[in-house]
Structure 1
Amino acid sequence: MIREFRLEDLHKVIYINRTCLPENYTPDFFVYHFRDFPEGFLVAEMNGTVVGYIMTRVDRGFDYYSSHRAFAEKGHVISIAVLPHARRKGIGEALLRRAIESVKRRGVKEVYLEVRVSNTPAINLYHKLGFKIAKRVPKYYADGEDAYVMSLQLD
């Protein structure tokens, strides 16, 4: 089941973030994004337990990933993670689809995300949903790994 994040989910989301990702965020970071765009912060439950989350926002400003650097409003997938035992069950895809609908309701025409170039399962999921690699960013992550910026054009 996919539902909107609630503050009582915070400890579980932090646990998932720290278990699944090398990029760890502070509790305040999660709360800020929840308050800024609550309908874009979703959790997935299995048997009543939170096993995954996705956090999105709408970015407003100059589009530094395009060649003409125009002002843009885009959906941004900040973080997505699913606990290892809950993977390969369609949870990540369901979270992503719901989050895309949330930003689409805000009127944006594009959603983007950053992903480690080594994260083949995630890249494959994003391709499946129509995302395309827009750019490679050298040394994007703190450990020096490159990232792909992937984007999805919305109807």
Structure 2
Amino acid sequence: MISEIAIDGPQKLLGKDGKTEYVIREVTMRDLNAVIEINRKVLPENYPPWFFVEHIEQYPKAFIVAEVGGKVVGYVMSRVEFGWSYIAKGKTAKKGHIVSVGVLPEARRLGIATAMMLRALKALKNYYDTTEVYLEVRVSNTPAISLYEKLGFRVVGRIPRYYSDGEDAYIMARPL
């Protein structure tokens, strides 16, 4: 599927249900309120508006949204960091960081999160020249862990009490 995902411009795709069409594309500032609303609805970790604006301005190619019927139903927010590699132990790396992924419940199970992630990964590699990518995920979030494993991520660490409710996070990473 990765070869099917375009890196530029809006891309129309067909959901796994065989009938729902959706579009993935780069975020624009016009999407800010919709992205914040999705974040508030589907994730317990919420960010202030300035945090989203910062990512839209600094890493727009790797901040992907999905639309169904013209409505934004999902997003993947990414950034670029420098630091110790999760892949090449003992070395530093320019890394992509998947900061947040959210899809509204009514748009799940269509392949939207997978398509957005694939586009973000391509952008992190091709536009931002990162060599690996990582993310944090709740240890209890089996559906997300399964998605990330299908995309080639592997658990490379665990952060105790990472989330505000005290739950641990896995660090998952993969080379690009």
* Shorter-chain TM-score above 0.5: yes
Report the identity percentage.
Answer: 54
Question: Is 1:100 the counterpart of 2:121 in the alignment?
Answer: yes
Question: Is 1:115 the counterpart of 2:144 in the alignment?
Answer: no
**1:14 equivalent in structure 2:** 36
Provide the C-alpha distance between the structure 2 equivalents of 1:12 and 1:64, rounded to a whole number of angstroms. Answer: 33
CA contact (8 A) 2:85 2:93 kept: no
**1:142 equivalent in structure 2:** 164
Provide the C-alpha distance between the structure 1 equivalents of 2:123 and 2:55, rounded to a whole number of angstroms. Answer: 14
Question: Is 1:83 the counterpart of 2:86 in the alignment?
Answer: no
Offset of 1:112 from its aligned partner? 0.4
- Paired positions, count: 153
Offset of 1:107 from its aligned partner? 1.8
Please tell me the residue identity of whatever aligns with 2:141.
Answer: N
Provide the C-alpha distance between the structure 2 equivalents of 1:24 and 1:52, rounded to a whole number of angstroms. Answer: 15
**2:77 equivalent in structure 1:** 55
Gap runs ≥5 in structure 2: 1-22
Deviations 1:36-68 (A, max 9, x none): 1111111000111100001111111x3175795
Secondary structure at the counterpart of residue 9 of structure 1: helix
Task: Answer with 69-78 or 115-124: which moved more.
Answer: 69-78
Question: Is 1:26 the counterpart of 2:53 in the alignment?
Answer: no
Please tell me the residue identity of whatever aligns with 1:101.
Answer: K
**2:18 equivalent in structure 1:** none
Deviations 1:51-90 (A, max 9, x none): 0001111111x31757955332101000010000100000
Q: Calculate the TM-score normalised by the size of structure 2.
A: 0.83
Offset of 1:7 from its aligned partner? 0.9
Provide the C-alpha distance between the structure 1 equivalents of 2:114 and 2:108, rounded to a whole number of angstroms. Answer: 10
Provide the C-alpha distance between the structure 2 equivalents of 1:19 and 1:64, rounded to a whole number of angstroms. Answer: 33
Provide the C-alpha distance between the structure 2 equivalents of 1:153 and 1:117, rounded to a whole number of angstroms. Answer: 21
